[in-house]
Amino acid sequence: MSTTTMSEYRVDPVSGLKINRTANTLVKWNAFAAVVFLLVGGLFGLGVALTRMPSVQLLSPEIFYLALTAHGLINLAVWIIFFEMAVLYFLGAHVLGNRLATPRWAWTQFWLMLVGAAMVAVAVLGGNSSVMMTSYVPLTAEPHFYLGLILFAVGALIGCFVFLGTLVIAKREKTYSGSLPLVVFGGVTATIIAVFTIVSGALILIPTFLWSVGLIEHIDPMMYRVVWWGFGHSSQQINVVTHISIWYLISSLVFGAKPMSEKVSRGAFLLYILFLQLGSAHHLLSDPGLTSAWKIFNTSYMIYLAVLASMIHGLTVPGSIEVAQRKKGLDAGLFTWLRKAPWGNPIFSGMFLSLVGFGFIGGITGVVMSVEQINMIIHNTMYLPGHFHGTLVVGTTMAFMAATYWLIPVVFQRKIALTGMAKWQPYVFSLGAWVFSIALMGAGTMGVQRRHADITFAGQPLAYQYPEIAKGLMDIGEIFGVIMSVGAVMFIIVVLASIFTGERIAEDSAPWPKVEDADVVFEKSGKKHIGIWGMEAPGTFVLAMILFATIILYYFINFKYLSTVWGMS
Partner 1 sequence: MGTSYTPPTNPDWWREPIERTEMIWIVLSFTWCIFMFGWMIGWHWIGNQNMSNETYKTTPEAFSQKVADMQAKYTVRQDEATGEDVVAPPPGSDVYLAGMMWQWRPILEFQKGKTYRLHMSSLDVGHGFSLQPENINFQVYPGYEQVLNLTPNKTGIFSIACGEYCGGGDTMGHHTMLGRIYVKE
Q: Smallest distance from the beta carbon of 143 to partner 1, in angstroms?
A: 18
Distance between CA 124 and CA 426 in Å, rounded? 31
CA dihedral 238, 242, 248, 252 (to 10 degrees): 160
Q: Residue 420 or residue 461: which is nearer to partner 1 going by CB? A: 461
Radius of gyration (C-alpha) of the chain in whole angstroms: 24
Distance between CA 120 and CA 128 in Å, rounded? 11
Q: Smallest distance from the beta carbon of 449 to partner 1, in angstroms?
A: 5
Q: Smallest distance from the beta carbon of 77 to partner 1, in angstroms?
A: 17
Q: Smallest distance from the beta carbon of 488 to partner 1, in angstroms?
A: 25
Q: Smallest distance from the beta carbon of 447 to partner 1, in angstroms?
A: 4
Tell me if 55 sits within 8 A of 46, measured CB to CB. no
DSSP per residue, 363-392:
IHHHHHHTSTTGGGGTTTBTHHHHHHHHHI
Q: Residue 431 or residue 532: which is nearer to partner 1 going by CB? A: 532
Tell me if 155 sits within 8 A of 112, measured CB to CB. yes
Q: Residue 111 or residue 136: which is nearer to partner 1 going by CB? A: 136
Q: Smallest distance from the beta carbon of 504 to partner 1, in angstroms?
A: 25
Distance between CA 227 and CA 250 in Å, rounded? 35
Q: Residue 7 or residue 564: which is nearer to partner 1 going by CB? A: 564
What count of other Cβ atoms lies within 10 Å of the Cβ of residue 90? 28
User: Among the residues of 176-290, which ranges form H helices?
Assistant: 182-212, 221-255, 262-279
Name the DSSP class of 344. Answer: T
Q: Residue 365 or residue 430: which is nearer to partner 1 going by CB? A: 365
Compute the residue count for the chain: 569
Tell me the CA end-to-end span of the chain in Å, nearest whole number. Answer: 65
Q: Residue 156 or residue 537: which is nearer to partner 1 going by CB? A: 537
3-state SS class at 19? strand
Q: Smallest distance from the beta carbon of 410 to partner 1, in angstroms?
A: 12
Q: Smallest distance from the beta carbon of 231 to partner 1, in angstroms?
A: 17
Q: Which residue in 87, 14, 10, 3 sits closest to 505, CA to CA?
A: 14
Q: Smallest distance from the beta carbon of 554 to partner 1, in angstroms?
A: 12
Q: Which residue in 214, 208, 245, 210 sits closest to 86, CA to CA?
A: 245
Tell me if 137 sits within 8 A of 211, measured CB to CB. yes
What count of other Cβ atoms lies within 10 Å of the Cβ of residue 406? 23
Tell me if 408 sits within 8 A of 489, measured CB to CB. no
Q: Which residue in 382, 369, 370, 383 sits closest to 451, CA to CA?
A: 382
Q: Smallest distance from the beta carbon of 420 to partner 1, in angstroms?
A: 29
Q: Residue 434 or residue 541: which is nearer to partner 1 going by CB? A: 541
Q: Residue 175 or residue 419: which is nearer to partner 1 going by CB? A: 175
Q: Residue 301 or residue 500: which is nearer to partner 1 going by CB? A: 301
Tell me if 20 sits within 8 A of 98, measured CB to CB. yes
Q: Smallest distance from the beta carbon of 489 to partner 1, in angstroms?
A: 28
Distance between CA 368 and CA 375 in Å, rounded? 8
The pair phi, psi for residue 171, each rounded to 5°, is -65, -45
Q: Residue 366 or residue 432: which is nearer to partner 1 going by CB? A: 366
> Given phi > 0 = left and psi -120 to 50 = alpha, else beta, which region is 279?
alpha
Q: Residue 155 or residue 318: which is nearer to partner 1 going by CB? A: 318
Tell me if 248 sits within 8 A of 269, measured CB to CB. no
3-state SS class at 9? strand
Q: Residue 238 or residue 321: which is nearer to partner 1 going by CB? A: 321
**What does each C-alpha distance from 199 to 101, 215, 390 come to in angstroms?**
22, 21, 27
Q: Smallest distance from the beta carbon of 531 to partner 1, in angstroms?
A: 8
Q: Smallest distance from the beta carbon of 290 to partner 1, in angstroms?
A: 8
Question: C-alpha 278: how far from its chain's center?
Answer: 20
Name the DSSP class of 361. Answer: I
Q: Residue 267 or residue 342: which is nearer to partner 1 going by CB? A: 267
Q: Smallest distance from the beta carbon of 324 to partner 1, in angstroms?
A: 10
Q: Residue 25 or residue 134: which is nearer to partner 1 going by CB? A: 134
Q: Which residue in 555, 565, 560 sits closest to 368, CA to CA?
A: 555
Peptide bond into 138 cis (omega under 30): yes
